[in-house]
Structure 1
Amino acid sequence: MAVPAPSKRPRVLVVSPNRSHLALLARRLGAEGYAIITASDGRAALGELHRSPIDLVIAELVMTPMNGPELTRAIREQTAFAEVPVMLIASRAEPDPAVRAFAAGAEDVILKPFHFEVLVARIERRLAAARRFAALRADMNAMDARAALKAIELGELKDRMYALEAERRRISA
């Protein structure tokens, strides 16, 4: 994968209490061209979200004191971050990890062990969907602004029509 220009590099927040796992993911994802921000737990992750713009969050399902689903819910509850894609990493040994992750609002669940290439493909898919959603939201905002402008123009034309009708009646009388 070609490394994007620094300003265009997607910013990925990786959250894991396991330092070696965190370092490995950060190094490999960084080599794929992502700007990596790391956090060792859910609370630190929320702090990072407030510090700088994040394009995607990858977090462990099992963490303390705030686990992956709790982190996902906290992200979804904050309007500024509600649309940031969240992917949770779970062990196959955990009962119903996907159910808990999706119920909390995660977009994807990656079960360990996973192929790194598949992880990167899933990240790209989530980032592409987020870009499409952002473009759609921008188009909707632009349409709302145009509709509001047209409503104002229509109101002004209506006022002018009433004024002209009143003037016509005054002249006729």
Structure 2
Amino acid sequence: MIQASGHAIAGARRRTVRTVLAAGGCRASLNDIAQRLGNLGYLVVLSDSACQALELVSARGFDLVLIDALDPESGAIHMLNEIRGSHDTADLPVIMLSGEDGAVEAFAAGADDWLLKPAPFEVLAARIERTLARAGRIEELKRSNLALDARIAARAIELGETQAELAAARADRIRLLGAVRQLNDELATRRSAA
């Protein structure tokens, strides 16, 4: 079952509504998280299973995935591995909630952050904000790198064109010098014959 929850952001400072996919097996826990995140201005989509969540991740652009893992059989690590294994979602921010034994496995699978359950909501909200801010900086860096790559490619093309023009100018100069030498030789020959 999928459920969406979200509220418009109040206040003088408006921002784009950010979307969070919350996946896990405990509907009550997910509903509570969705309600509270909705009150903070997030649009939250809920998913009961890893399979359904992966379909949602591949079909929509989420800003963050929150995986509420209750037990090893929940498919949370599989889900995280699938997210990290896809080129399209490899950099998608993922926060994992699990028991004490889940931290190392979550980080090894590529979680951006991990919280011990039950995590105080204020801590979860702060970690979500921090993770999204870091993801935003990474996206900005990627855009800057793409723009820089485009500028480098354009400069390389310009350099290649300039080098071709220079080579053509050098060839013209050599031809002209050869023609001048030939004319000088002809003049010298005519003068010596006269």
User: What SS does structure 1 have at the residue aligned with 2:62?
Assistant: coil
The sequence identity of aligned pairs, in percent, is 37
Structure of greater Rg: 2
What is the CA deviation profile of residues 16-72 of structure 1, one whole-angstrom value per residue up to 9, with x for unaligned ones? 111111111111111111011111111111111122110100012246865211111
Counterparts of 1:53-92 in structure 2, within 5 Å, are: 53-62=61-70, 67-92=75-100
Counterparts of 1:35-46 in structure 2, within 5 Å, are: 35-46=43-54
Write the distance in 2 (CA, Å) between the matches of 1:130 and 1:97. Answer: 23
Write the distance in 2 (CA, Å) between the matches of 1:145 and 1:133. Answer: 18
Counterparts of 1:6-45 in structure 2, within 5 Å, are: 8-45=16-53
Contact 1:9 1:35 in 2 (8 A): yes
Aligned to 1:3: 9
User: What SS does structure 2 have at the residue aligned with 1:128?
Assistant: helix
Total equivalences in the alignment = 169
Write the distance in 1 (CA, Å) between the matches of 2:58 and 2:71. Answer: 20
Q: Which one-letter code corresponds to 2:85 in the other structure?
A: E
Q: CA deviation at 1:91?
A: 2.5
Which of 145, 152, 167 is residue 140 of structure 1 equivalent to? Answer: 145
- TM-score w.r.t. length of structure 1: 0.91
What is the CA deviation profile of residues 116-152 of structure 1, one whole-angstrom value per residue up to 9, with x for unaligned ones? 1111000000000000000001001111110011000
- 2:55 counterpart of 1:47: yes
Write the distance in 1 (CA, Å) between the matches of 2:59 and 2:43. Answer: 14
Aligned to 1:131: 136
Which of 154, 159, 169 is residue 154 of structure 1 equivalent to? Answer: 159
Unaligned regions of 5+ residues in structure 2, if any? 1-7, 179-194
Contact 1:22 1:38 in 2 (8 A): yes
Contact 2:63 2:93 in 1 (8 A): yes
Q: Which one-letter code corresponds to 2:177 in the other structure?
A: S
Contact 2:81 2:109 in 1 (8 A): yes
Write the distance in 1 (CA, Å) between the matches of 2:72 and 2:15. Answer: 33
RMSD: 1.9
Q: Which one-letter code corresponds to 1:51 in the other structure?
A: A
User: What SS does structure 2 have at the residue aligned with 1:121?
Assistant: helix
What is the CA deviation profile of residues 55-113 of structure 1, one whole-angstrom value per residue up to 9, with x for unaligned ones? 10001224686521111110000011110111111124xxx210010010001111122
> For the structure 1 residues 59 and 110, does the alpha-carbon distance in structure 2 shift closer, same or farther, using more than 3 Å as the test?
same
